[in-house]
Structure 1
Amino acid sequence: MMNSKVALLYVLIIMSGRLAQSLKPRRSISFSDVKLKLFKEPDFNGLSSLLVREDIGLLFIGARGKVITLRLDDIAEKTGEIEWRVTSGEKSACVLKGKSKEDCENYITTLHTLNDSRIFTCGTRAFKPLCTHLLFKGGKVSMETTTSEGRGRAPFDPHEDFVSLMNENTLYAAGSVDFMGRQAFLRTGRNYLYTEDKISWFNDPIMISINVAETSKSSENREDDNLFVFFTEIAVEERRSNLRLSRVARLCKGDLGGFVVSEKKWTSFLKARLDCPFGEKGSISLLQSVFLVNDENNVTESLFYATFTLSPPFNSTSSSCSQSAVCAYKLSDIQQVYRGNLLEEIISGGWVKDLGKESYTYPRSCINDEMRAKNVKTSLDIPDSTLVFAKNHPLMEGGVMPITGRPLLVQSTAQFSKIVVDKVTSLDGQHYNVMFISNNSGWLQKAVWSGDDGGRIIEELQLFQDPQPIRFLQLSSRSGQLYSATRTAVAQLSVRDCSRYTSCADCLTARDPYCGWDRLRGLCAAVAGASNLSMIQNLTDGDVGICPNSHLSKKIIDIHLTVDVAQFLPCSPDTNLPISWSFSGNILEPGPRHILLSQGLVLTPSFTDEGLYTCETVEVVKGRKHRMAVIRYHVKLTKERKEREVNGSQGTITYILASVCVLFGMIIIYACWKQKREKHVGSSSESYANTS
């Protein structure tokens, strides 16, 4: 019988093993073991924007009532702080309108670099957005005294999902445009445009991302550059009420609005459903974050990486709503959807496929050489009939599917939030897109996807000690630094840190595009700028056969056990890989005396169980099985118990042999007695016969 402590431990381990059913990261690193730099102050709260300035080596943080600057190479060092607060009168007026005192502060939500190196800065300012500029001179940051209207450039509500993008000194923004929270997509400046105030365009949207694609560089007919707006909204085309879907809208960057119809309005707005199929049937994937990876050789081959969480089916009690996924979309596939069929709204409120009575090229295509040849050089030259049609037909019939038809990876342990992607070049010159995905618990996951073996999570790191959503991710590819932020703290992490791989085998089987084994220094290091002569790397199958010969092995631990008393032999690898046990060189199979667990072995030994027990991690890469020893135990039985067992066994054997001998003797005696009796009976009968 195993004692109560071991039995309890056994039950707890079994329970913990059953809880983890989803795709696991190869390695998990807790907060105390992550090499990072933190910025946090006692009164620091309400972080609402983040800007990386590699040219001046500063990280700008927009927060409640101030802008803070930190050193880009070490954010623990604060270089400056500029206050920008509301007056008591502004706050009082805001509170009288029903807003809380906290929300009536000035939250700096917009930080963008202009061509002249100034920083365009806007804040909510007690629900009356205002903008100004930050200047950097002589190593110091200052704020201009002049201000401008912030409506449409910053949100009114500090809690609102508001996104903006600065491109060629032009600001594009998606979010609220008034105190009541009316939503729109705007271009501010000289060519000011905004979306139609129609439910068919935006229906209670949550804005996610804005991107510019220079499609004219790869277009055969010099089609105008594209703008993409990602959001979720209540679907107008679905009969089911309050069904929220993910969308991507495409607009033409050169859109100038209409001459009479749609004056100061976007004329090229089209939107389509964005699909990322995962979870049980009927589940809806909701967009959380988007990151564009440009293809410098062909813009149309550029990829949008996006994170999704799951909205469960109607009336479902399934736990699948905790699942998250990453899907990727090719720009050319998105463009193709906009060349398809449009939906038309009918009187009853439903939406049906447009029968093609009006087969306009615009806005399915932005202005191109074919249109220019017909003297249609801008949207101001588009006929009114076309503009009216475009205004009433913003919705595409088709949806955008991911490049693989399914997610790159799916996980159910935490909800994904933000994503950034780094383009990494390996030692052999191949290119890899490494994904960094944050979640709502303060963790970051590093993942890679390839067509050969699908998606895999190389590692996950706990960036913040207290569980909290990561709201911002910014990557400096030049320095290899990743900056993440919650509402109360900022963390800096080197994406090229390879020190967690402690051996050549571990370094290579991890297949981390950033890392390789340095044969001269005998350690795992970043491959960026390294020579192929001293560094080895194998991202194809992680073959460790190219590793230098090593005589290092895991130390053998002597352990003395007692016969028939259960003992737990722990095995805790620094990875999340499954483990395997061997006994004296042979794979150990589960049995009554050997209970194999995910974190160790429960051994109830007999005197035949003495020997060497080895725990190994098992990793299969493209059919190749890699085993690495974690710990070894040399199990011995205590001497007196063993002698007692041996003596007892010998006594038992003697007793059995004696019993057999006695039994055998009794059988012989009985056989002899029976034979004599049969002879005696036979002579008596014969005599009786003769007498008669």
Structure 2
Amino acid sequence: MMKSEVALLYVLIIMSKGSAQSMKPRRSVFFSDVNLKLFKEPDFDGLSSVLVREDIGQLFIGARGKIITLSLDDITKKTKEINWIVTSKEKALCQMKGKSIEVCDNYITLMHTLKDGRILVCGTKAFDPTCTHLMFEEGNVTMEDSFVNGRGKVPFDPNENFASLVNGNTLYTAGSINFLGTVKSFKRHGRNSLMTEPIWSWLNGPNMISMNFAEISKHSYNKEDDSVFLFLTEIEYQSQRSDLRLSRVARVCKSDMGGLRILQRKWTSFLKAHLDCPFGDEGSTSLVQDVFFLQDEKNVSDSIFYATFNLNTKISNACSQSAVCAYKLSDIQQVLRGRFMTSTDSGHWVKHPGAMLNPYPSSCINDEMRAKGVRTSRNVPDSVLMFVKTHTLMEQIVTPITGKPLLLQAMAQFSRIVVDKVTSLDGQQHNVMFISNNSGWVQKAVWSGDDGLRIIEELQLFQDPQPIRFLQLSSRSGQLYSTTRTAVVQLSVRDCSHYTSCADCLIARDPYCGWDRRTGLCAAAAGASNLSMIQNLIDGDVGICPSSHLSKQIIDIHLTLDVAQFLPCSPDTNLPISWSFSGSILEPSPRHTLLSQGLILTPSFTDEGLYTCDTVEVVKGREHRKAVIWYRVKIGRRGGRYFSPHLHPYTLIIVSFGALGVIHIYKHLTQKSPNHVQSDHCGNDPGANRTTASRG
């Protein structure tokens, strides 16, 4: 082999091993191998809302001009279609106001279940938001023939982000409230409606993300009022530039009634804080994309907010990165009980230097306040409410429970997240995350304080790369529903068919799966007993597996002396591989080039023998090796028998084109999965070399 070709091989080794790797999923399952159900119709597009109704077994889909209901058990079965379109006159009027024909339609952007079982439905109605109700009676879905003004409930523009929730029959929304979309507010609707003050210190160019309700009173020792949390991004106050944004978490109290004289019909409990998820280059900021609230039934303060973040690449030269951070409710509460920032006339935030007022500004009513005569927000003194009006931002920053992201990936754009609480056979609970991205993939990950985070697998839910807009989970049936703008996919989260052996089933440590002794298959553990099923989520010990005797299928190959040829090794997981020669671990050398998907061998006569490719997985300090393929190599001189029919086709390329063939192999191996797992060319440690962004 020429010296230049040898040098090139070493460059490839450095390139393939020198870059820091983001956390990889253990297994990648491509679209053709995913067991899923798909709903898609030719005239179905503009999907803009999703609602799961487990009580009636229906999935409600809001789209452009229609509402469709699908069976929760099988979404390919459409149970109802209700058309809700705009008239030609309404569409023409919308276009006269300068809007495109595409947005001058009725996009169903809000669906919530009310206390009486009806569904509140709102559509953009050609930039004239309108609401009505759906009813489910005797197995049939119908729409009421009465309609009400929906302005302030949903934005006029169907492409605008907004957040909403219903508690009982009370609707909370956060989004624009005018035709131009320039005025945005966090509102409570109904008999005692409240909203934010329309000033920059309350909301400054906000992008509303998610809203969650926390039953604080359920476990509070002093009967503190329940809270509504809003997650958003907004313009950084110090610069007033629209591309400099920060992530925030805001909170209001459920029983807030507004002020008596000051802050009438306005929140008296509105507070917000900087939400930090530290990753990326110095000076970069992370922008929250979605939030899932997993409420702890035993102690609400231990509840966790799981959030996806993308890096704001507009303000730095950093490459595209995404992360998942988790926040404890009690940590957010502690920040909201801390010291305040003061808004100035010049549009800046400074630390509040004065003493704290009594009662504590923006507090949710509790027993201590009631004992002092402050039974509602209308009993709060005017001096405190005046303070509230200019002190909405907290000095302290909300940081994740681990101090850094649970998960960090480069060259990815995370979108939605849902979390399932799964009980294993030993009675322990495990939080399983499903994280979608903008390329049609979903990752399944497990996080625990002792074991860190593991990405069990990633699944390609849509054949063409496209953003996933919604993720909804039915924990009762174990079904995940994922949508783009034009299609809906149903996936069983308890599908264990990709684990083909007992060892693979146990080492994966998937809380949903266990090895069924009776059937000899990896199957769903839900409802099974320890007598019939094996599961070990602690260290994946395969010693408890039944003994198996798999025969080796050794491939005999004939290689040519001093001619580089490629021995492929393609495991069904993303685990690293290790090569051994005649029972000894093979190390890199001028004749042995180790790549992530195979071995380039430039043989001498001493290289005849048995080559084994194993996957290597370390679980709790214990190494697990699984043989993928065996090669029995024999060496011949030039002019003899050169090739084996079992060799990878790229072997011929190497022999024929030398260095160019090696480059071709390297490109093939590093570009195997362009839509999901990528090398972290940013080379960043989560939180390393990064200062916390400005509190403003």
TM-score, length-scaled by structure 2: 0.88
CA distance in 1, matches of 2:12, 2:470: 37
Give the aligned residue type for 1:203: N
Q: CA deviation at 1:637?
A: 3.3
Tell me the equivalent position of 1:673: none
CA distance in 1, matches of 2:77, 2:10: 48
* 2:531 equivalent among 518, 522, 533: 533
* 1:567 equivalent among 560, 565, 568: 565
| Correspondence 1:614 to 2:612 | yes
CA distance in 1, matches of 2:16, 2:587: 21
| Correspondence 1:507 to 2:489 | no
- Contact 2:134/2:141 (8 A) holds in 1: yes
Give the aligned residue type for 2:99: K
CA distance in 1, matches of 2:453, 2:30: 23
| Correspondence 1:629 to 2:630 | no
CA distance in 1, matches of 2:312, 2:262: 39
Change (3 A) 1:9 1:498: farther
Give the count of matched residue pairs. 641
Residue-by-residue CA offset, 1:487-514 (whole Å, 9 max, x unaligned): 1111111111111011111111111111
CA distance in 2, matches of 1:424, 1:569: 41
| Correspondence 1:46 to 2:82 | no
Residue-by-residue CA offset, 1:128-183 (whole Å, 9 max, x unaligned): 10001111223221111001110122121000001110111111111011112111
Tell me the equivalent position of 1:126: 126
CA distance in 2, matches of 1:53, 1:16: 48
Matched position secondary structure for 2:26: coil
Q: CA deviation at 1:230?
A: 0.6
Tell me the equivalent position of 1:480: 478
Matched position secondary structure for 1:461: strand
* 1:558 equivalent among 556, 559, 565: 556
Matched position secondary structure for 2:563: coil
Tell me the equivalent position of 2:62: 62
CA distance in 2, matches of 1:179, 1:613: 70
Residue-by-residue CA offset, 1:305-363 (whole Å, 9 max, x unaligned): 0111112484x3232xx111111111111011111111112344332111224523343
* 1:408 equivalent among 401, 406, 409: 406
Unaligned runs of 5+ in 1: 645-692
Tell me the equivalent position of 1:142: 142
| Correspondence 1:226 to 2:227 | yes
Tell me the equivalent position of 1:106: 106
CA distance in 2, matches of 1:271, 1:593: 62
Tell me the equivalent position of 1:670: none
- Contact 2:579/2:613 (8 A) holds in 1: yes
Give the aligned residue type for 1:216: S
- Contact 2:243/2:314 (8 A) holds in 1: no
Change (3 A) 1:242 1:637: closer
Residue-by-residue CA offset, 1:243-296 (whole Å, 9 max, x unaligned): 200000111110011122211111110100001111222221110100000110
Tell me the equivalent position of 2:453: 455
CA distance in 1, matches of 2:86, 2:641: 85
Unaligned runs of 5+ in 2: 643-696
Residue-by-residue CA offset, 1:547-572 (whole Å, 9 max, x unaligned): 11111144211222222232211100
Alignment of 1:255-404 (within 5 A): 255-312=256-313, 314=315, 316-319=316-319, 322-404=320-402
Change (3 A) 1:5 1:571: farther
Tell me the equivalent position of 1:662: none
Give the aligned residue type for 2:629: I
Tell me the equivalent position of 2:205: 204
Give the aligned residue type for 1:378: T
CA distance in 2, matches of 1:448, 1:326: 12
Change (3 A) 1:111 1:349: closer
Tell me the equivalent position of 1:649: none
Tell me the equivalent position of 1:244: 245
CA distance in 2, matches of 1:638, 1:87: 80
Tell me the equivalent position of 1:603: 601
- Contact 2:31/2:459 (8 A) holds in 1: yes
CA distance in 1, matches of 2:49, 2:641: 73
- Contact 2:362/2:388 (8 A) holds in 1: no
Tell me the equivalent position of 1:493: 491
Change (3 A) 1:83 1:643: closer
Using the TM superposition, name which of 560-569 and 512-521 deviates more. Answer: 560-569
Matched position secondary structure for 2:46: coil
CA distance in 1, matches of 2:499, 2:18: 28
CA distance in 2, matches of 1:340, 1:11: 54
Using the TM superposition, name which of 357-366 and 200-209 deviates more. Answer: 357-366
Q: CA deviation at 1:525?
A: 1.0
Higher relative contact order (CA 8 A, sep 6+): 2
Change (3 A) 1:574 1:643: closer
CA distance in 1, matches of 2:33, 2:550: 24
Change (3 A) 1:240 1:121: closer
Residue-by-residue CA offset, 1:430-489 (whole Å, 9 max, x unaligned): 111001000011100011112233222111111111111111010000000000111111
CA distance in 1, matches of 2:351, 2:469: 39
Q: CA deviation at 1:7?
A: 12
Matched position secondary structure for 2:386: helix
Change (3 A) 1:77 1:12: farther
- Contact 1:563/1:642 (8 A) holds in 2: no
- Contact 1:612/1:635 (8 A) holds in 2: yes
Q: CA deviation at 1:8?
A: 11
CA distance in 2, matches of 1:261, 1:553: 81
Q: CA deviation at 1:117?
A: 1.6
Change (3 A) 1:12 1:68: farther
Change (3 A) 1:264 1:5: same
Using the TM superposition, name which of 328-337 and 342-351 deviates more. Answer: 342-351
- Contact 2:268/2:377 (8 A) holds in 1: yes
Matched position secondary structure for 1:508: helix
Change (3 A) 1:189 1:629: same
Identity across the alignment (%):
72
Which protein has the bigger helix share?
A: 1
Tell me the equivalent position of 1:417: 415
Matched position secondary structure for 1:436: strand
Using the TM superposition, name which of 634-643 and 489-498 deviates more. Answer: 634-643
Change (3 A) 1:592 1:490: same
Matched position secondary structure for 1:396: coil
CA distance in 2, matches of 1:392, 1:514: 50
Give the aligned residue type for 2:249: V
Q: CA deviation at 1:33?
A: 0.9
Matched position secondary structure for 2:395: strand
Give the aligned residue type for 2:80: G
Give the aligned residue type for 1:201: W
CA distance in 1, matches of 2:129, 2:496: 44
CA distance in 2, matches of 1:569, 1:40: 42
Q: CA deviation at 1:386?
A: 1.5
Using the TM superposition, name which of 600-609 and 112-121 deviates more. Answer: 600-609
Change (3 A) 1:643 1:77: closer
Tell me the equivalent position of 1:29: 29
Change (3 A) 1:640 1:246: closer
Change (3 A) 1:11 1:556: farther
Tell me the equivalent position of 2:691: none
Change (3 A) 1:428 1:405: same
TM-score, length-scaled by structure 1: 0.89
Q: CA deviation at 1:54?
A: 1.0
| Correspondence 1:590 to 2:588 | yes
Change (3 A) 1:642 1:546: farther
Change (3 A) 1:520 1:14: farther
Q: CA deviation at 1:393?
A: 1.0
Tell me the equivalent position of 2:688: none
- Contact 1:223/1:365 (8 A) holds in 2: no
- Contact 2:357/2:384 (8 A) holds in 1: no
